[in-house]
Amino acid sequence: MFKKILIANRGEIACRVVKTARKMGIATVAVYSDADADALHVRLADEAVRLGPAPSRESYLLADAIIAACKASGAEAVHPGYGFLSENEAFARRVEEEGIVFVGPKHYSIAAMGDKIASKKLAAEAEVNTIPGWNEAIDSPEHAVAIARDIGYPVMIKASAGGGGKGLRVAYDDKEAFEGFASCRHEAKAAFGDERVFIEKFIEGPRHIEIQVLGDAHGNVVYLNERECSIQRRHQKVIEEAPSPFIADATRRAMGAQAVALARAVRYQSAGTVEFVVGRDQGFYFLEMNTRLQVEHPVTECITGIDLVEQMIRVAAGEPLAFTQAEIARRGWAMECRINAEDPLRNFLPSTGRLVRYLPPATTMEAAAPVPQGGGVRVDTGVYEGGEIPMYYDSMIAKLVVHGFDRDDAIQRMREALNAFVIRGVASNIAFQAALLAHPSFVAGDFDTGFIAAHYAKGFRAEDVPHEDPDFLVALAAAAYRRYRERAARITGQMPGYEMRIGEDFVVVVRGEGGVHEHVPVRVRAEGAVTVELRGKTYAIAQDWSFGGIRAGGSCNGHNFTAQVERDGLWTRVMHNGRRIEALVLSARASELLRVMPFKAPPDLSKFLLSPMPGLLTQLAVVPGQAVHAGERLAVIEAMKMENILTAAHDGVVKEILAAQGESLAVDQPILSFA
């Protein structure tokens, strides 16, 4: 067994590998860029080596620097995590040539599966079901349109070296095929240095289901059941679960057998994932093989009790698998929500900056530790309170994982865990995750990869979050206000005759758009628990919450709850099950006066192009005096490895350029103005 491993990655996955290595008694070496000098993975590892400046192409993608770090630190093996160089065949081969063990598959397996065109041919030879399509490289947009017509719309245009949703478009007509081909080629060349694309039939109503496989150097290959990954937004997974609520046992066995056959065909030695698209009739077709550890590997660990990182290390060290296919368990139900630094209310634009507050829910499960019999909550992360979410890498803050007795139990545990997850300083997608978990179709297991696009076609809005009792949030605001009043009444030295009187009757003003607020009369009594009466309903709230804190637990009418309550000036912000309100608790007279207060409208910013996110202004496509038409490209902002094109909302003339190309922009910073 190795004595020291270098982890050629950052963030959550680097921290995850450290935990297993520590359990196995293996020392770890972290690598970092200038942006990650104070990152959590650097703190957790036994030692750390600087790679270079913040951009990944100058740090985490430098094979020479990583190999030099291995030699300088005495690391015998390198674990690549996922992303970066994890599926780079040249890097894996180079590591092996330098006498260092690559904790992953052999370079020839990566090469065979890394090229999507070659992998589909190989899969067909191994008698794995494949999707109809054109598997040769396509040289022009016109050629792409001709092929798409021959296959029949809709088609999927895909970069051969693609992944993570980059270099992928779905086309429903000639125009979309023509433009999609050009976009895919451009994205693929920028992201992977390989501009080849191919086209295949797009299966409508598809499920995205993947099979986890493990192989060793002794010819043993097993599959560890499946993961359901159909809840996706723009081809990026949002919620993953294991097992799938959709496939039958016979389908599971057939998919597993084909995944094992494919792994054997490429002499696979490590953890890998064979991805399938599954139709409504449970017919399944090979998509691709990911020759690395998947982001969503924790859900498989939960239902099988197998530490996948440990298995990767043991296989790399030459050990045979210690279990057979028949010995692999499937217990309970696991679910993972990716908690990302993005703002769902601003079309999921990236959000970077300092984590002013980071308070994850209490955990009862831990990576690299045995799974408790009763299930629980696990948080895999690479951040900490006070740390930075940099603009140079992906947007993941944490992976929230739960394990329950069945699917309904897992959903309930996840909703409570999301309620307890406190993130401030950057926006997060927690409210969106809560909305998905409460959607009737998701609860019923009735969804496919188009679920989010279908149900949130116009984006995500605050009113899209369902709540079984919105008045509970109003009652909670009133109960918190009562606590503040009680504290004020206890202040010593109050003037006789002017002491704080608490009272019972108030009005909760719920903030609305455009200064149109809702005024809700409430009666609040405190006799042990706080009792709030409103709209003919009574809420008896026993609340465990401290002044200045955010997370509030307790019970309401005998039912336990977890929520978030915090003061923002005179207003109280309350969040529960993804729903959020801002409330101001007033006397009846003050409520009347507020109704007649004039509303100050926000300034008109329609004459400006504002940066919708923090990021790097990589392109300015216009100059002062230029006439532009609605939909025309104005600027390009790069943030968290994604290129965001800003277009004109209406016809106009550019008046002034207010930001320079290459400048780092803040959210809502003006880029240019219109005449």
Read off the DSSP letter of residue 327.
G
DSSP designation for 464: G
pLDDT, tens only, 351-361: 888 999 999 99
Q: Is 13 exposed, middle or buried (0-12, 13-18, 19+ CB in 10 A)?
A: buried
The alpha carbon torsion through 309, 311, 314, 319 (nearest 10 deg) reads: -170
**656/206 Cα distance (integer angstroms):** 47
Give this prediction's pTM.
0.85
> Which residues in the chain come in under a pLDDT of 50?
none
d(CA 268, CA 219): 9
Host H or E run for residue 456: none
Please answer whether residues 334 and 241 qualify as being in contact, where contact means their C-beta atoms are separated by less than 8 angstroms. Answer: yes
What pLDDT, on the 0 to 100 scale, is given for residue 164?
63
pLDDT score for 163: 65
Nearest to 84 by CA among 58, 123, 45: 58
For residues 88 and 162, what is the distance between their CA atoms, to the nearest angstrom? 12
DSSP H helix total and E strand total for the chain: 17, 39
Q: What integer pLDDT is reported at residue 603 of this predicted model?
A: 84
Reference 315, options 267, 275, 366, 274; nearest CA is: 267
The per-residue DSSP string of 402-428 comes to EEESSHHHHHHHHHHHHHH-EEESS--
Q: What is the largest CA-CA distance in the chain?
A: 91
Give the integer Cα–Cα distance in Å for 140 and 181: 8
Residue ranges in 193-307 assigned as alpha helix (H): 249-265, 297-304
State what percent of residues in the chain have pLDDT above 90: 76
pLDDT of residue 391: 85
Q: What is the pLDDT of residues 25-67, one digit of tens each?
A: 999 999 999 999 999 999 999 999 999 999 999 999 999 999 9
Q: Which DSSP state fits 138?
A: -
Residue 566: active-site member: no
What is the identity of the amino acid at 294?
Q
Distance CA 255, CA 208 (A): 12
Among candidate residues 288, 301, 336, 416, the one labeled active-site is: 288
> 81: part of which helix (H) or strand (E)?
none
The amino acid at 413:
R
DSSP code for 515: G
φ/ψ (deg, to 5) at 176: -70, -35
State how far the alpha carbon of 671 is from the alpha carbons of 343, 350, 618, 649, in Å: 20, 18, 12, 14
User: Which letter does DSSP use for residue 130 in this model?
Assistant: B
Using CB atoms within 10 A of its CB, is residue 88 exposed (0-12), middle (13-18) or buried (19+)? buried
**Share of the chain residues as helix, strand and coil, in percent rounded to the nearest 5:** 30, 35, 40
Residue 411's closest CA among 445, 387, 386?
445
Instruction: Find, among 46, 64, 55, the residue nearest to 7 by Cα.
Output: 46
Compute CA 218 distance to the chain's CA centroid, rounded to the nearest angstrom: 36
**CA nearest to 339, candidates 387, 411, 273, 389:** 389
Q: Is 23 left (phi over 0), alpha (psi -120 to 50) or beta?
A: alpha
Task: Report which DSSP code applies to 611.
Answer: P
Domains and CATH numbers, the chain: 4-103 (3.40.50.20), 116-131+206-331 (3.30.470.20), 135-201 (3.30.1490.20), 333-466 (3.30.470.20), 471-491+500-595 (3.30.700.30), 608-674 (2.40.50.100)
Rounded Cα gap, residues 266 and 165, in angstroms: 25
